[in-house]
A and B are shown apart, each in its own frame.
Chain A
Amino acid sequence: MINVLLWAPLAFGLVGLFLPRRAAGPWAVLGTLVTLSVAVGMTIGFNQGDSGLQYVESTPWISGLGVDYSLGLDGLNLFLVLLTALLWTGGVAFAAFRDYERPKTFFLLMLVAETATLGSFLAQDLLLFVLFFDFMLVPFYFLFGAWGHDRTAEGGMTASGATLKMIIYTLIGSLLMLVAAIATAIISADGGHITFSIQALQEQGIGLGSQRWIFWFFAAAFLVKMPAFLLHGWMPDAYRAAPLPALAVFSGVLAKVGAYGFLRIVLPLFPEATVEFQEVVLVIALASILYGSVMAFTQTNVRLIAGYSSVAQLGFITAGIFALRADGSDGAVLQMVNHGLVVAPIFIIVAILLERTGTEDIREMGGMALRAPVLAALFLIVALATLAMPGSSNFIGEFYILNGLFQAKIVFAFIAISGVAMSAYYALRLYQGTMHNRKPEGLLSREIGWRDAVVLVPLVLCIVALAFYPQLILKRTNPSVEQTIAKVTKGSAPNGKLAER
């Protein structure tokens, strides 16, 4: 079952190469739908009280090097997998209704990207995780570079330049992570049999001295991916270059792999270092919230408003995780799903707006709601969810995060709260700037067609459904989160020096 989930997109993508050009899109949609239904099936069959791994699959892959092919689902990754399958269905379907050059290659790459992303969520072997984590970049490199937009006319970079920048930024982290992963296994094996199994490594543990540098090698990879403040240099150019359907899934899911990496790997494997560097990471997270929010105020390109708002949101999620309390991390997992669910529709709406207005500049937009009330209503729901309106699931997520942070580090919580207020400003600015105000000359206000509605409405329905019943996620996530957090708090308890601090 779990193998089908992982490899179905790739298999569909490869078969798609042998189909006629026009069938490539619908076939890819079918592939994502099959994956989505497998993911839904596995969610239904998921035993919610269990904190351990389910649907485990484990066979030796490279036995000489101690690498296993091992996959599993638990509360940490269950809904991220579901989110991945859902957003890819939306993104691919949106693209399938449009004309792309070389469609067969385009959809193959989209589906390869889905397999890679699912792989990094499912992997229970440290090296397999690193492998999928790095591999995610390859399809997106081609998608952004070959189907992206050159921005030289606006003083920006070419698509290939922007993606090269993205690749180099993210691979700095990833390659150091590869070294760190290998070092973790070798140090914890201590001359014995080398294994990369995350479970086994948790039990063996490594000394604090090694934990310190390994922690930062992993953190670098994850923080670049998010991206966090100071490591976000690749984001504006890549976001402006990317083709929007690919950007919707990229922004919706890939950023979360970084946050997920902290929960899956850093916290349980390097508990002492986590406690030691808790405040440093919190400072980075808060800086991301403030910087992302302020930048989202001032940008005029709608892609960048969404992009910088993601920086702020990911800052929130990181802060929740590094509260090192179960409620903070519960909120973080919920918020990862929430943010994915809002940011992907935003980019799809941006794509729809782009087709009608021919511009991505918010100053040149406006008045869209006049003739397109359905689009406006859908966007309003998304925008209100983004600003974490009470009643939305994002509100619950942020509440959990802040609750955890208040009890852990009250000073940080006070600063983080300002991020909530600021998110209201940029979300409403984005909504008003595009939908309300006076309609500029030459702007075509047109209702969305059924093709876009088919993509957008289900995603918005998911937001609404989750607003009514966030317990769906929290209940299944909590046992695994508590287990993870227990490793950190237990790990630091006997260490008196750390507890005093």
Chain B
Amino acid sequence: MNFNEPHIDYAGISPLIALTVGICVVLLSAVFKPFKRSAPLLTLVTLGATAGLLIWRWDDPKNLITGALRLDDLAISISLIAILVAAFCVVLSIGERATEEAGSGEYHSLLLGSVLGMVLLSQATNLVTFFVALETLSIPLYILCATNLRREGSLESGLKYLIVGSIGSATLLYGMAFLYGGTGATGFQGIAAGIAHNGLDGDPLILIGIAMAAVGLAFKTSIAPFHQWTPDVYQGAPTPITSFMAVATKAAAFAVFLRFFEVALGSQLDSWQPALAALAAISIVVGNVGALGQDSLKRIMGWSGVAQAGYMLGGVVVASEAGTSSLVFYLAVYAFMNLAAFAVIVARERETIFGDDIRAVRGLGAERPALAWPLTISMLALAGLPATAGFIGKLYLIEALVEGDYTWLAVFIAVGTMISLAYYLRIVAAMWMRPEREAVPGGTPAIAGASPEADPVDPEAGRRWYLVGPAVLAAAATVFFGVIPQPLVEFASHAGSALF
């Protein structure tokens, strides 16, 4: 075995350093009184600096720390998506009760910790860094879900996520053990070489390892049938955290999904490709059907997230450059679509007594057009209608699928999209059209965690810049990239060419 003299590429790990320093500074800022209120600002500065350092490393792929990490364009693009979402989450958290209850410094440093995990995970090329990064990502999130300390739903959400997440991690770890046992290597390249060298092609040991790793990652990306936690956790967690979880976790987990399956297990394509395709199809059906009967906006987003994860898994299934690019493109678009929706949900949650129930957005078109338009655009984009980036995203994915001879999965996406219209358009109809049934106005709705004592209503929330701004910005980006997608396509194709 070769032993390389440890050479530390400080430029390469500078984003990680920036984040780590940021975590310490934000945490300490809470201790010193003059800086007590500056945690959000410091967090944004940290995220900005990290993003700047990552952009600086663009288009210069490098192996870091003796091949444990690889900083290429795939890693950078996914990290940038995660950082963007985190920055939105910080802004949406202004005025959120959870930050007060958990302590602003702690809340924000945990958020940064999770981002650190994501940045690491997107670069991981080694089973050990893979697992450590995954846990760095997850553990802060378990806590963040429960930061709404006085709300039962939030605590329940944190606990549920912890238990299910641990099962996922354990399964993944077990699968890794099989792979290591078979190949004797932890590096992704080493595993690929080990499979070829030890004649393990199609060996049960490897297949079990692959299956368990796939299940573990499916838990993290909330792919059916490993999605049961998603709606509950999404609903219970503080909404800004839900938005962060929904997009950034998915992005980071898909990055490692791509890298692990295509670099380490590329030779076993024939055995995992049909299995993942089946998972994608199940996810599309389960997610879309599950969302139909829901009344809570956050639960709808949760179920729709399951379906969307199914669409995105298609990008992994085809194992091609086009597939990877289309997945990164879709993740970027997904970030904008979801952020617009969640910003509006946050605003209405604080403004009305209905919490995240669909009644909270009834009549929004006349009452608050600045919130209604972003939510409308977001819903139309999630449904994949043209003139939004959602359409281009679906187009890109379907093109990759048809090219990779998975036309049937493309048809599944089409059919799933059709089902999804029923619930996305229900939200749109609630905003702009007359109600289906006259509901009894007033009164406290019997929804978990929406009691007026716990969540005092802020009648001005729908006008606050830090809620309307992100919603409008994300919706504008959704339309912009639907009309002029070329810049984002180039961004994504850079990421795609990193693996192939």
Residues 11-54 of A at the B interface (beta carbon under 8 Å): none
Interface: A370 (CB within 8 A): no
A110-135 residues at the B interface, CB under 8 angstroms: 127, 131-132, 134-135
Classify the secondary structure of A's interface with B.
Answer: helix
A260: CB under 8 A from chain B?
no
| Beta-carbon contact of A168 and B422 below 8 Å | yes
Interface string of B146-183 (1 = CB under 8 A from A): 00000000000000000000000000000000000000
Is A424 part of the binding interface, using a Cβ–Cβ cutoff of 8 Å?
no
Instruction: Flag whether B414 is at the interface (Cβ < 8 A).
Output: yes
Which of B399, B422, B432, B486 is most buried by chain A, counting CB atoms within 10 A of its CB?
A: B399
Instruction: Find out whether the CB atom of A176 lies under 8 angstroms from the CB atom of B403.
Output: no
- Complex Cα–Cα for A65 and B395 (A): 9
Q: Is B270 an interface residue (CB 8 A)?
A: no
Q: Report yes or no: B366 in contact with A102, Cβ–Cβ below 8 A.
A: yes
- Knowing A138-B387, A168-B418, A175-B417, say if A65 contacts B434 (CB, 8 Å): no
Q: Are B386 and A132 in touch, CB under 8 angstroms?
A: yes
Closest residue of chain A to B403 (Cβ to Cβ) is A186
Interface with B: A85-93, A155-163, A285-293, A344-352, which one?
A155-163
Instruction: Name the prevailing secondary structure of the B interface residues.
Output: helix
Question: Contacts A62-B489, A138-B387, A160-B436 given: A168-B421 contact, CB under 8 Å?
Answer: yes
Given contacts A131-B391, A168-B421, A182-B410, contact A160 B429 (CB under 8 A): yes
Interface contact B493-A178, CB-CB below 8 Å = no
Closest to A150 in B: B434
With both beta carbons as reference points, the residue of chain A lying nearest to B326 in the complex is identified as: A65
Of residues 388 to 422 in B, which have CB atoms within 8 Å of A's CB atoms? 391-392, 394-396, 398-399, 402-403, 407, 410-411, 413-415, 417-418, 421-422
B385 A172 Cβ-Cβ under 8 A: no
In this complex, how many residues of chain A approach chain B with their Cβ under 8 Å: the count is 36
Complex CA–CA separation, A499 to B393 (angstroms)? 43
Alpha-carbon separation in the docked complex, A383 to B411 (Å): 44
Q: Are B493 and A64 in contact (CB under 8 A)?
A: yes
Beta-carbon contact of A161 and B434 below 8 Å: no
Taking a contact as CB atoms under 8 Å apart, the answer to whether A179 and B432 are in contact is: no
B225 at the interface (CB under 8 A from A): no
A160 contact from B391, B398, B433, B493, Cβ within 8 A: B433
- Chain B: residues with Cβ within 8 Å of the partner, total of 39
Residues of chain B with a CB closer than 8 A to A132's CB: 386
Chain A residues in 8 Å Cβ range of B391: 131, 134
Who on chain B is nearest to A63 by CB? B486
The CA of A161 and the CA of B39, in the complex, are separated in Å by 47
The reply on B203 being an interface residue by CB < 8 A is no
Cross-chain contact of A175 among B396, B402, B414, B432 (Cβ < 8 A): B414
Q: Which B residue's beta carbon lies closest to that of A148?
A: B433
> Contacts of A150 on B, CB cut-off 8 Å?
434
Given known pairs A179-B398, A179-B407, A182-B402, the reply for A167 and B421 (CB within 8 Å) is yes
In the complex, chain B residues whose CB is within 8 Å of the CB of A160? 429, 433-434, 436
Chain B residues whose CB sits within 8 angstroms of the CB of A142 once the complex forms = 432
B-contact bits for A63-94, CB 8 A (1 contact / 0 none): 11101000000000000000000000000000
B368 vs chain A, min Cβ distance (A): 14
Q: Assess whether B479 is interfacial by the CB under 8 Å rule.
A: no
Given contacts A135-B385, A164-B425, contact A179 B411 (CB under 8 A): yes
From known contacts A145-B432, A186-B399, infer whether A62 and B392 are also in contact, taking CB-CB under 8 Å: yes
The answer on a CB contact under 8 Å between B396 and A65 is yes
Whether, in the assembled complex, B490 has its beta carbon less than 8 Å from a beta carbon of chain A, the answer is: yes
- Residues facing B in A180-203 (CB within 8 A) are 182-183, 186, 194
Inter-chain CA distance A194–B365, complex, in Å, is: 42
Cβ contacts under 8 Å, B432 to chain A = 142, 145-146
Q: Report yes or no: B486 in contact with A62, Cβ–Cβ below 8 A.
A: yes
A65-B421 contact in complex given A175-B414, A178-B398, C-beta closer than 8 Å? no
The answer to whether A65 and B489 have CB atoms under 8 Å apart is yes
Q: A64-B486, A178-B394 are in contact. Are A138 and B434 (CB under 8 A)?
A: no
B103 in the interface (beta carbon within 8 A): no
In the bound assembly, the distance between CA atoms of A127 and B398 in angstroms comes to: 12
Q: CB-CB < 8 A to A102: which residues of B?
A: 366
Q: Is A175 a contact partner of B418 (Cβ separation < 8 A)? A: yes
A444 at the interface (CB under 8 A from B): no
B interface vs A, CB < 8 Å?
Answer: 325, 365-366, 380, 384-387, 391-392, 394-396, 398-399, 402-403, 407, 410-411, 413-415, 417-418, 421-422, 425-426, 429, 432-434, 436, 485-486, 489-490, 493
A residues sitting closer than 8 Å to B (CB atoms) are 61-65, 67, 102, 127, 131-132, 134-135, 137-138, 141-142, 145-146, 150, 158-161, 164, 167-168, 171-172, 175-176, 178-179, 182-183, 186, 194
* 24 A–B contacts from the bound complex (CB under 8 Å): A61-B486, A62-B485, A62-B489, A63-B486, A64-B325, A65-B395, A65-B399, A65-B489, A131-B391, A132-B386, A135-B385, A135-B386, A137-B385, A145-B432, A146-B365, A146-B432, A159-B434, A160-B433, A167-B425, A168-B418, A175-B418, A178-B395, A178-B414, A179-B407
The 7 closest A-B pairs by CB, nearest first: A175-B414, A135-B386, A160-B429, A160-B433, A64-B489, A131-B386, A145-B433
Q: Assuming A135-B385, A141-B425, A175-B417, what are 14 further A-B pairs, CB within 8 angstroms?
A: A131-B391, A134-B385, A160-B429, A160-B434, A164-B421, A164-B429, A167-B421, A172-B418, A178-B414, A179-B414, A182-B398, A182-B402, A182-B410, A186-B403
